[in-house]
Amino acid sequence: MKMTINVNGQEKIIVSRLSMMGLINELHMEPRTLLVELNGRVLLRHEWDSVELAEGDSLEIFRVSAGG
């Protein structure tokens, strides 16, 4: 079964019962460099495996970098 979520302002169709970490892996993103906001709430990294995405969820995924 599939569902639609919003990732950084764009609709994305994903499989149902996908965790936040599962989505990050599907997007081929490096978890150590990310900050994730789900429906206006920042998700702590230790929550990513247990948070299951739902139809209509809105995500903002930010890539964090350090430099000078």
Least Cα distance to 53 among 21, 27, 28, 18 occurs for 18
Phi first, then psi, for residue 13 (nearest 5°) are -95, 125
pLDDT tens string, the chain, 68 residues long: the values are: 999 999 999 999 999 999 999 999 999 999 999 999 999 999 999 999 999 999 999 999 999 987 76
Confidence (pLDDT) at 68: 62
Record the tokens describing residue 9, joined without a space: 């302002």
Q: How buried is residue 53: exposed, middle or buried, by Cβ count under 10 Å (0-12/13-18/19+)? A: buried
> What is the rounded distance in angstroms from the CA atom of residue 4 to the CA atom of residue 15?
9
Query: Computed over its alpha carbons, how large is the radius of gyration of the chain?
Result: 12
Domains of the chain, earliest start first: 2-63 (3.10.20.30)
The predicted pLDDT at position 65 comes to 85
